[in-house]
Structure 1
Amino acid sequence: MAIGDWAPGLKAAAGYQPAWLPKDLVAGIVLTTLLVPQGMAYAELAGLPPITGLYTSILCLLAYAVFGPSKVLVLGPDSSLGPMIAAVVLPLVAADGDPAKAVALASVLALLVGVMMTVAAVAKLGFVADLLSHPTQIGYVNGLALTILIGQLPKLFGFSVDADGLIGEAAGFVRGVAAGETLPVALAIGAGGLAVILVLQRFLPRIPGILVAVLGATVATSVFGLADQGVDVVGPLPRGFPPLTLPHIDLSDLGILAAGALGITLVSVTDTISTASTFAARTGQEVRGNQEMAGIGAANLAAGLFQGFPVSTSGSRTAVAFQSGARSQLTGVVGAAAITLMLVLAPGLLRNLPQPMLAAVVIAASLSLADLSAMRRLWRQRRVEFSLALAAFLGVALLGVLPGIAVAVALSVLNVFRRLWWPYSTELGRPDGVAGYHDVRSYPDGVRFPGLVLFRFDAPLIFANARTFREEIRHLAHAEPAPQWIVVAAEPITDIDTTAADMLEDLDEELNAAGISLVFAEMKDPVRAKIDRYKLTRTIDPAHFYPTIEDAVAAFHSQRGK
């Protein structure tokens, strides 16, 4: 295997054009203004010290620059993964609340995600992203956005809540506000920062609203001594590059971490393939799903070995890099270098960054995650899929983030089975002025021939719908007057499994006893080959397979004319 196949970044570096350098440098500096505050905020969202968010950002950017195939995708701590990480890690450290243990658990979680991603890439399992249908993704993300929002409100108001789950946290927040626990100065700086972010994002998107808000809040805290007035601040950060660390955990925790890693892997793959597809269309690249998984796997492995936590693609940071003129992954390398320089030369730069401001950063991210317009569109377009989205939303909101993932996946899979179980089927007729035979529901005046039924079944014929097919054919056979031929327009039938084959054999014998012929038209060659392999032509007349519906109709009329 060529080096470019497993390390696309090295191949890209060999073809790097000097004219790209100024744009990549500028984009990297602009990107850093997002990476630092968001990395720290999302680390706290995951229940970890803020410094781990910076460590994670550095290592994942460097690893993806080597092993990732995309020129512009930006990886890092993600708001959608934060609650999932917290849901896995925090219960395991609840007894002693040891931050070092939480970091070790999160690092092992990142290593497990990295291994799963790498194995999936080698096994070419990029299709697992399809396990989450778009409606369930919409519902899941909206539930996640609400969960994040409610969880950050107490910090924004300057107090904390000891509760689990959305309902418990919401109730605790209301009780805290009612009991007068709100710290006005904390609320002022957090709400003010949130307003700055949202206003600038809405009306002046080219201005980095998060940077403006974070710098303003940090300066205000320093000038007015807000830390002495009870406002929690980040405090000094450790100096220097993150050290290589092999995390140690209890083996009894490994099962829970593996289950959480599986859910994180699925969400990360789905999000990455979606984001990669969007930006590949803009840059003229092709999406390489398996290589993307390898790149994300490498990023998670690197983060896990340097006190980091699981990462994914960030659509918002990728958009910022793209809009700033990024031409290659050097943009991410510049961002990683800038964060490293800050930790080496000025670790105290953000010591007075107030915690309510970090809450505002996370809340702004949660609002960007929410997509209520998509829910409204599903309501207008297809109520069944709206119901799936709503169920996924409730799964996250009421059961929790990780169970919500299980609910979303289960709903997606069940929706596939529902469509296979009860596929669309109809009779066909020949409408005046239109060539061919068409759905009589769309063309109710279509001509139907006495003694002949044309039936279309829009699905592969498998165990899940064999009974449905049989009952519909029986219903047609019991009509008055009874048909002589039932012609199955088999072009939509892409497969016939052994369960369906046994059903067809019994059904054909039943119809033959009633003087009715079961006939097939437009059956695909691979499906017909299976019919022969199953030896169904022992009962079904081999002459009753026609290349077109017109041929079957002509044969029926020819037989009746004899």
Structure 2
Amino acid sequence: MKPLRFRAVPGVRALASYRRAWLAKDLVAGVVLTTLLVPQGMAYAELAGLPPITGLYTTVLCLLGYAVAGPSRILVLGPDSSLGPMIAATVLPLVEADGDPARAVALASALALMVAAVMILASVAKLGFVADLISKPTMIGYMNGLALTILIGQLPKLLGFSVGADDLVGEFTGFLRKLGEGATVPAAAAVGCGGILVILVLQRFLPKVPAVLVMVVLSIAAATVFDLGEHGVSLVGELPEGLPPFTIPDVRLADLSLLLAGALGIALVSLADTISNASAFAARQGQEVRGNQEMAAIGVANLAAGPFQGFPVSTSGSRTAVAERAGARSQLTGVVGAVLIVLMLVLVPGLFRNLPQPALAAVVITASLSLADVPGAVRLWRQRRTEFLLCCAAFVGVALIGVLAGIGVAVALSVLNVFRRSWWPYRTVLGRVGGLEGYHDVRSHPAAQRLPGLVIYRFDAPLVFANARAFRDEIRRLAGTDPPPRWILIAAEPMTDVDTTAADMLEELDEELDAKGVRLVFAELKDPVRRRIEQYGLTRTLDPRRFFPTVEGAVAAYRRRTGAEWAPADEVREGYGNGEASGNGNANGRP
């Protein structure tokens, strides 16, 4: 039995199916990947408000953890630019006024363990669907706000000075003030701005060249040759030798509530990132995405990093793309990268001592530019203004309230948008159009024919407590014309549910309409909804003979009973026949 249990571990399965032909490609890809892992790991650690070395510790442990537990052959994990500001927003307020780095590291490590617990528990509960809580428009707004936050936060470091502020507005005004006071260090500005230029030019014209590595090598060479440390440029300095010991983070009980709030937000963003990246790369490799397994694997990666001065991690689209382009075939690529980083820390810890801090700021700023999706926001403006407003609200939430509150705003807006669509769904009257089968929206087809005395009404949403009154008011309006219709036929195919509040409303509405001589009729109710209506006991008042399998069948029954003939739109009296049923859809009749 034990071998079978071990075979359930993704890393063991991958090892059992490993092909010898992959080895050379994985080794080469691992070497190439390492050239990106080291500078980005150090830069994103500083973005999170932590010492650069912790980014390397985190990178090593999370790569090994995901190699064991990760279901994807190609995904690369590590410190991430989108998580850095969230980690800083969680950890830095809890650090004492003296900014003790050891306490910041302990808090970040505890945060990683809490993210691990959230991810693993959510995986056991099969909650992978929570990644859908952030819609694409709100995610675009959130990422644009995050990109702006990172950019403004890194500008002082890029130019060689610092600004003490707690929010984006304070950072920006402080940056402008110090810029006006002449606080810029010319050598630092040259290294930082030159680094951005090198990365962007190489990424644009020579995409296969490791742009970040080239920039790092050039900046180290410049710092060594021109002795930039003596010209006011901050350098990374000597890194600690080897790996840190296993340590249980020492945090106060009072810190746990803020850490948990941060862990939940980080877990949500990490999961959304992971699912989107896994889907994109799995589609290219012919693999299947397993959302709950990915959650568990991210949890294990954070669990591995936490006790070794690590901080929360996520998947990286850029690093995964580099590994894929370099020929990676399995998670051995990440293992090779982890081993090379360990060898660097043990054998040559001083390799990056002359790396200028503005160069790390350049790495972070160029990464923030990749987070932004301005064309996506412009597309929303052109295609759907309401979703553009959601995007803007999420952007403002991140920029003005903060990254942690911003993720809450993004989730809340996504959920409220779903609720809004259920609350005010599209609804309309239908008619017959020559040359087209079925019945169609009279807004799109004003000349559609209608039967005198019959209103065919479509309500494009589940009938629930949030929209029950809107449905009732619309039916009352349609029934209140002079003369009133004989039948109001509900084309109920879009109604995927009827809750108890809506059921009570239907019972009262039916009795009210019967008193006026108007019959409420349903067509195309889905079987589960029909069974629910029977369960509610509505068939006591709503005669089962009022339920038809198709709209065509209901119309045929009406014509048999009344002898009505199809009439042009202008011959049907205004009110129920004029197609003015309200709704919030577009001119083409789509919600």
> Could you tell me which residue of structure 1 aligns to residue 271 of structure 2?
269
1:70 equivalent in structure 2: 72
**Residue among 36, 40, 54 paired with 1:52:** 54
Superposed CA deviations along residues 115-135 of structure 1, whole A, max 9, x for unmatched, are 000001111000000110000
Select which of 449, 452, 463 maps to 2:451. Answer: 449
The structural deviation recorded for 1:96 is: 2.8
1:163-194 per-residue CA deviation (whole Å, 9 max, x = no partner) reads: 11111101011001100000000000111111
- 1:242 CA drift (Å): 2.8
The one-letter code sitting in structure 1 at the alignment partner of 2:182 is G
Alignment correspondent of 2:147 = 145
Q: Which amino acid in the other structure matches residue 501 of structure 2? A: T
Q: In structure 2, what is the equivalent of residue 97 of structure 1?
A: 99
Counterpart AA for 2:528: P
Task: Name the SS of the counterpart of 1:117 in structure 2.
Answer: helix
- What residue is the counterpart of 1:160 in the other structure? 162
Q: Select 2:30's aligned residue among 25, 28, 31.
A: 28
| Cα 1:154–1:475 shift into 2, 3 Å | same
After superposition, residues 276-355 of structure 1 pair within 5 angstroms as 276-355=278-357
Question: Given the superposition, is the C-alpha separation of residues 318 and 502 from structure 1 closer, same or farther in structure 2, using an over 3 Å criterion?
Answer: same
Q: Deviations over 1:20-72 (max 9, x none)?
A: 01111111111101100000000000000000000000000000001000010
- Amino acid paired to 1:15: S
Q: Distance in 2 between matches of 1:52 and 1:245?
A: 13
- The answer on whether the counterparts of 1:6 and 1:67 sit within 8 Å (CA) in structure 2 is no
Q: Alignment partner for residue 110 of structure 2, among 104, 108, 119?
A: 108
What is the distance in 2 between the residues matched to 1:300 and 1:481? Answer: 69
Amino acid at match of 2:125: A
Distance 1:367 1:220 in 2: 25
What TM-score do the two structures reach when normalised by structure 2? 0.94
The SS at the match of 1:305 is: helix
**How far apart are 1:4 and its partner, in Å?**
6.3
TM-superposition CA deviations, 1:67-96 (whole Å, max 9, x none): 000010000000000000000100101423
Map 1:356-371; keep pairs closer than 5 Å. 356-371=358-373
Paired residue type of 2:287: Q
Aligned to 2:569: none
SS at match of 1:486: strand
Kept in 2: contact 1:7–1:66 (CA 8 A): yes
SS at 2:350 equivalent? coil
Amino acid at match of 2:479: A
Tell me the CA shift for residue 3 of structure 1.
Answer: 3.6
Cross-structure match for 1:181? 183
Does 2:535 match 1:533? Answer: yes
* Counterpart code for 1:361: V
Moved more, 18-27 or 105-114: 18-27
1:473-488 maps to which residues of 2 (within 5 A)? 473-488=475-490
SS at match of 1:348: helix
Decide whether aligned partners of structure 1 residues 322 and 406 sit closer, same or farther in structure 2, where only a CA change above 3 A counts. same
1:349 aligned counterpart, secondary structure: helix
Within the candidate set 469, 472, 495, 1:470 is matched to 472
2:215 alignment counterpart: 213
Residue equivalent to 1:556: 558
Q: 1:346-385 deviations in whole A, cap 9, x for unaligned?
A: 0000001000000000000001111100001001110000
| Alpha-carbon displacement from aligned partner over 1:484-513 (angstroms, at most 9, x marks no partner) | 000000111011110100000000001001
SS in 2 for 1:325: coil
Which residue pairs with 2:583 in the alignment?
Answer: none
Question: 1:423-478, CA deviations, whole angstroms, 9 ceiling, x for partnerless residues?
Answer: 11111101011111111112211111100000011111111111111111111111
Of 414, 424, 432, 2:416 maps to 414
Measure the CA separation in 2 of the matches of 1:50 and 1:435: 67
What TM-score, normalized to structure 1?
0.99
Structure 1 runs (4+) deviating above 6 angstroms are: none
Partner of 1:395: 397
Quick one: distance in 1 between partners of 2:547 and 2:145? 51
Compared with structure 1, are the counterparts of its residues 5 and 18 closer, same or farther at alpha carbon in structure 2 (3 Å cutoff)? closer
Say if 2:255 is the partner of 1:253: yes
Q: Percent identity?
A: 70
SS of the equivalent of 2:243 reads: coil
Is the CA contact (8 Å cut-off) linking 1:28 and 1:335 kept in structure 2? yes
**CA distance in 1: counterparts of 2:124 and 2:379, whole angstroms:** 38
Q: Which AA in structure 1 matches 2:308?
A: F
Q: How far apart, CA to CA, are the structure 1 residues paired with 2:536 and 2:417? A: 30
**One-letter amino acid of the counterpart of residue 23, structure 1:** K
In 2, the alpha carbon distance for the partners of 1:422 and 1:324 equals 50
Q: Distance in 1 between matches of 2:511 and 2:7?
A: 56
Query: Which residue of the partner structure matches residue 584 of structure 2?
Result: none
Aligned residue identity for 2:157: K
3-state SS in 2 of match to 1:426: strand
SS of aligned partner of 1:429: strand
- What amino acid sits opposite 1:371 in the alignment? D
Question: Structure 2 regions of 5+ residues with no counterpart?
Answer: 565-591
**What is the CA distance between 1:479 and its match in structure 2?**
2.0
SS state of the match for residue 438, structure 1? Answer: strand
Match of 2:575 in 1: none
8 Å Cα contact 1:117/1:296 also seen in 2: yes
Cα distance in 2 between the residues matched to 1:323 and 1:132: 30
Report the residue type matching 1:38 in the other structure.
Q
In structure 1, stretches of 5+ residues that fail to align are none
After superposition, the CA RMSD in angstroms is 1.1
State the alpha-carbon separation in 1 of the partners of residues 463 and 538 from structure 2: 14
Instruction: Map Cα deviations across residues 234-282 of structure 1 (whole Å, 9 max, x no partner).
Output: 0101111232111111111011100000000000001110111000100
